[in-house]
Amino acid sequence: MANKFKTSNRPSLWVWLGIALLVLLIDQFTKVLVLGAFQLGDSTPITSFFNLVRVHNHGAAFSFLAGAGGWQRWFFTGIGVAAAIFMVWMLRSHAGQKLFSLAISLILGGAIGNVVDRLLHGYVVDFLDFYWGAWHFPAFNVADAGISVGAALLILDEILRVRRGR
C-alpha cells in the first residue's frame, strides 16, 4: 500500500506565496517607517553614495507618466492586479521549478507592494537613493528591489534552461 502521507521534494504553492508575502510585508513596513520619519523631499545621508529620502512616484518605473493627470494611478493599479493574478497562476502551474518560482515570488511581492501604495496613497513611496558624485539613480523601494532581483533571476533561469536544452 502506497504511503499517502509521502512528502515531496517539490515546494508547494504556499512556499512561494509565503516568499511574496514576506517581500510585501518588508516593503510596507519600511514605507511606514519612512512616512513616519520623513517629510516629502527630506534626505538623510547614510554613506558617501547612499541617502534615505522620501519621494512620491505618481508614475511607473523612473516616474514614467508621473504627470499624466491622475488616470495613471488606476491604470497601473489595474496592470498590477492583472499581473498578480497571472503570477499566482504561474506559481501554481510551475511550483516545482525553484529558480523560476523564486523569481516570480519576488516580482509578485513587489508588484503587490506597489499596488498597495497606489491604492492607499495615490503614489508609490520611494526612499532608497544611490548616487555617484552628482548623478543619482532614481529612488526606489523594497518592492522595486524585489521586482528587479526577480527579473534578473528570470533571465538567469531562462539562460540555464536554454543551456540545459543543448
Q: Does the annotation mark 144 as catalytic?
A: yes
User: Measuring CA to CA, which residue among 142, 133, 125 is closest to residue 53?
Assistant: 125
Q: Which of 117, 126, 129, 157 is catalytic?
A: 126
Q: Which of 27, 117, 129, 144 is catalytic?
A: 144
Please give the model's pTM, rounded to 2 decimal places.
0.85
What local confidence, expressed as pLDDT, does residue 148 receive? 96
| Residue type (1 letter), 151 | A
What local confidence, expressed as pLDDT, does residue 101 receive? 97
**Cα–Cα distance for residue pair 163/144, rounded to 1 Å:** 29
What local confidence, expressed as pLDDT, does residue 76 receive? 73
**Cα–Cα distance for residue pair 93/30, rounded to 1 Å:** 32
Buried b / exposed e along 79-102 (16+ C-beta atoms within 10 A): ebeeebeebbebbeeebebeebbb
Q: What is the pLDDT along the chain (166 residues), one digit of tens a residue?
A: 555 554 556 778 899 999 999 999 999 999 999 999 999 999 999 999 999 999 998 866 655 555 555 566 677 788 888 999 999 999 998 888 999 999 999 999 999 999 999 889 988 999 999 999 999 999 999 999 999 999 999 999 999 999 988 7
User: Measuring CA to CA, which residue among 71, 99, 70 is closest to residue 160?
Assistant: 99
DSSP E strands: which ranges in the chain? 43-45, 50-57, 124-132, 135-136
What local confidence, expressed as pLDDT, does residue 79 receive? 84
Residue spans per domain, the chain: 51-164
Q: Does the annotation mark 117 as catalytic?
A: no
**Cα–Cα distance for residue pair 156/100, rounded to 1 Å:** 9
What local confidence, expressed as pLDDT, does residue 78 receive? 85
